[in-house]
Structure 1
Amino acid sequence: MESELLLECQRNDRNAQRKVYEKMAGKLYSVCKRYLKNDEDIEEVLADTFYKIFTKIDQLQNHDIFEGWARKIAVNECLQKLRNTKALHIELEDSHAESSDTTDTISFEKDILSLLNFLPEGCRAIFNLFAIEGYPHKEIAMMLSISEGTSKSQLNFARKKLQELLINQNI
């Protein structure tokens, strides 16, 4: 992201904010989509994310890390949404979600992302944080107010469930 554009955002320039929104909305939407199923929730979290970005941008001292910083805000907002809906307090029971259309031949990445939707929200959040975002279990545990053991067992459950789904859908 261009440093001058971010400086203009720090001065509350609405045009600059619109440009940043246009450049980042798709990327941050994809991040939110990995954590949340409901489009309304995703849109709400995305709006909250941009609000936080634009109100806290003056705290960003290194413009080179803007995208990572914005992504971290999006992840934290998704986790906050999950905490507020109590979706992280899940059972380790097998969900019975089945795909209604296994004949789709969309790209592998989209297949994997769609399979994440069949995981319980807590497992999906932990899988995203560990496997995609690269957080260690200790940090995940602190972020979600759970034990490291719970984080590890939820990740293990998510991996097994994804393997089953991959086999069942012949991906």
Structure 2
Amino acid sequence: MDKELRILIQKCVKQDKEGQRELYTLLSPVLYGICLKYMKSKVEADDVFQDAFIMLFQKIDQYRFEGSFEGWAKRIFVNEALEVLRKKQRRLHVAIEDFNFNTDNEDNSKRLDLVLTQEELLNHIRELPDHYRMVFNLYVFEDYSHKAIANKLNIAVGTSKSILSRAKSVLRTKINAELKKKVS
């Protein structure tokens, strides 16, 4: 490792803002590229990039000057991207379990995994009317309570519950239609 990078890392360990800025400038192109490779959208990549850099600066004192610093930093970014994807997958699985699918098969959840991709399900969610999609996403993917949704969207709690119910009904209808086409 060259002396300049070692000094820069030591500055970051001391939480020196200028050192952090220099390290950020030095590594940003490579590390942002990792985020873009793992995430579907630029917005998601930006979020992972920001969170991973915060984590890098929080953990930089754990770097032992053994091996490549860039490799160490890349692992943080890859792990952060994978964690975001795992959380998204878990939330999607919970969302799938919340539906009653009628495909005339005994194990609908396994059948759903076989014939409906994550992208297809997300496309159906994107097709929801705006207010349905907002409430559905806040409740299912962001783990907001109906009270929190009501406060955020300036609606009644009962309205939030009603909109969620209608959103699920619309999704159930669309997905059942698609599954019937695929199964037949």
TM (normalized to structure 1)? 0.50
Q: Which residue of 2 aligns with 1:77?
A: 80
Label 1:94 to 1:26 Cα distance change in 2 as closer, same or farther (>3 A).
farther
Q: Which residue of 1 aligns with 2:14?
A: 11
Q: Which residue of 1 aligns with 2:34?
A: 31
Which of residues 2, 5, 20 is equivalent to 2:23?
Answer: 20
- Aligned-residue CA RMSD (Å): 2.4
| Per-residue deviation, 1:34 | 1.1
Q: Give 4+ residue runs of structure 1 displaced > 2 Å after superposition.
A: 87-95
What does 1:135-146 correspond to in 2, within 5 Å?
Answer: none
| Per-residue deviation, 1:64 | 4.5
| Aligned equivalents of 1:55, 1:43: Cα separation in 2 | 18
State the AA in 2 paired with 1:27.
V
| Aligned equivalents of 1:22, 1:63: Cα separation in 2 | 22
| Aligned equivalents of 2:68, 2:49: Cα separation in 1 | 19
- Percent of paired sites with the same residue: 35
| Aligned equivalents of 2:33, 2:62: Cα separation in 1 | 25
| Aligned equivalents of 1:63, 1:21: Cα separation in 2 | 20
State the AA in 1 paired with 2:61.
D
What does 1:2-151 correspond to in 2, within 5 Å?
Answer: 2-62=5-65, 64-86=67-89, 91=113
Asked if the contact 1:3–1:63 (Cα under 8 Å) also holds between the matched residues in 2, the reply is no
Greater helix share, structure number: 2
Greater RCO structure (CA 8 Å; 6+ sep): 1
| Per-residue deviation, 1:72 | 0.4
| Per-residue deviation, 1:33 | 1.1
